[in-house]
Chains A and B, each alone.
Chain A
């Protein structure tokens, strides 16, 4: 069996790499073509890299140095090579080396993108992991109770609220909770601050609690509905009847037999959600002005800063792919029948 698991992982990793390359190509293509469609030339793009008083000659030199005259595929190839081998950039002020993994330099800030991403990752990571823990606990608990007491007041209330939760935009709930809890009641931190967990765990959590809750509310609504549907189905299975026939107490029947059986589809969605969130909870981070990957991506888009956008996109795609791989492997842990295949 281990041999089959290993070939399985290798196959999946291979597929993941191919997928990442395709995602990066598409993103590169879009962000390469977009400015051009809007009328930008290699010179106007290069002018962002030189001082305000540059002559057309220096701009052209710059554009040539950055390879802006080269065809699309060559530029893409160079970008790809940078990731694995690093790259050298010439900004007129001399050659600068960007070590692997090199995702290029920001057009705006002249900072290499990779270290920037690594700076912001902890913020996004904290946000995603905290929120995910909350919504998993909340969503699954509410969904399970709803399913067990189907048709009760609790069930109807929970499902009504969750319907609202699924449909309300995060920007709205985010701003609403900010204005109530931070500005109004002063219970929680005002957006825009982030403290590293290593520096002060208390402060870290205090700063993040509001975005966590906001994000978790949104997701738990979806998870509650999903859990409820899954539980209603599982609780009708024959093996539940068997568990009861053994004389098992109802809470154990629900949790050990019911929930365990209903968990698989939730796992799939969870993997996807966490993967996506690690790529930057774009709206939440903006709403709470958290300096994470999402906010970084927005800066990139607003400023036509191709390397930034490429960096975040590829990192997000990477997380999604990895999360999916992990979910697939977890499947085999959760469902022994998968192992046999």
Chain B
């Protein structure tokens, strides 16, 4: 990293309302590496971003791009000893990397909370939904079971579970998929966290239920004014929710900007690839989809230079640069960051003439 991209990121967030002081969550040069028998898996490699209270950051990327590893690092949920984590994760100014695990534990569930992809396996099958919410609440709040139960019922009601007074005693398997995800959200919100991370919260759900859950997250964020990180592989989902979007590829950020910029003037070839490969209901039907060729790289042997070069149609545009030099993640104007060697003119030209017309 050359200049100070964090400053630039902060600057990008600055003009927007609700930003008070430094961002609530700030991740700087995060690296998460897993030593394995086959080699070191570089799941996250030099990642920086920030989110403020009242804002939503969408992280998009294909499977294996390091989205979940990032979120688990923030929450301090990697198993001790398996992951090598370096860099900084500042939660309201305190660095979580290297912090005493018990102190991180006390922040979990209280100041930062998480929603997982598969709500059925993420809830304990042997305890009632109520018991699990009560537990989450009582870890951080010294109240009686009765008070906590009342709180759990209120939360279930808030997330839209019908008859919360009786459903609080149901087991997770007695809930439908959408209701389980609502219950998970209720649990995550039990201590009124300032940061909410949702890792593919709707991937396991039907579109109709997905729409309900996205509405719910949006409403709750406005109500609680928390910082939200929503992780997904679906560009449609982030378009619904996110203020800012970060696109990840092979453990790195390749593009970061406001949501509107990402959809109106994307500047990175990988983002172009994602947009062109998805069929869209809001456009004329294209005769043929434009897939990105090849498959994502192994994170043990990340290609030299730009990790996207084996799949990129523009890799040869700058001589050998894409194959030899890792493009730095830089601000290309107005807080729009990309990691690509293409010059500004080339990017504009390609987007206007080759990509946009085919979407």
Which residues of chain A have a CB within 8 Å of any CB of chain B? 237-239, 241-250, 257, 260-261, 334-337, 340
Contacts and interface: CB of A to CB of B under 8 A. Distances in A.
15 contacts: A238-B118, A238-B121, A242-B123, A244-B108, A245-B77, A245-B113, A246-B113, A247-B105, A247-B106, A247-B110, A249-B102, A249-B139, A260-B124, A261-B125, A337-B125
A261 B126 contact: yes
Contacts of A245: 75, 77, 108-109, 113-114, 116
Contact of A244 (B77, B106, B127): B77
Contacts of A248: 105, 109, 135, 139
B187 interface: yes
A340 B114 CA distance: 29
A247 B139 contact: yes
Contacts of A261: 124-126
B333 to A, nearest CB: 38
A245 B193 CA distance: 12
Scoring B116, B128, B184 by chain A CB atoms within 10 A of each residue's CB, the highest score goes to B116
A248 B110 CA distance: 11
Given A242-B116, A245-B113, A247-B109, A334 B121 contact: no
Q: Which 10 A-B pairs have the closest CB atoms?
A: A247-B109, A247-B108, A238-B121, A246-B109, A246-B136, A336-B171, A239-B124, A238-B122, A242-B122, A245-B114
Given A244-B77, A246-B139, A335 B108 contact: no
B174 interface: yes
B107 interface: yes
A336 B139 contact: no
Contacts of B107: 247
B173 interface: yes
Contact of B135 (A238, A246, A250, A336): A246
A310 B178 CA distance: 58
Contacts of A249: 102, 105, 139
Contact of B171 (A244, A250, A260, A337): A337
Contacts of B121: 237-239
B165 to A, nearest CB: 19
B218 interface: no
Contact of B126 (A247, A260, A340): A260
B140 interface: yes
A260 B109 CA distance: 22
Interface in B134-179: 135-136, 139-140, 171, 173-174
A260 to B, nearest CB: 6
A336 B122 CA distance: 16
A257 B136 CA distance: 13
A12 B113 CA distance: 46
Contact of A340 (B110, B124, B174): B174
Contacts of B135: 246, 248
Contacts of A334: 126
Contacts of A246: 108-109, 113, 135-136, 139, 187
Contacts of B136: 246-247
B114 to A, nearest CB: 5
A261 B114 CA distance: 22
A238 B116 contact: yes
B69 to A, nearest CB: 13
A108 B345 CA distance: 108
A336 B126 contact: yes
A242 B257 CA distance: 31
B108 A241 contact: no
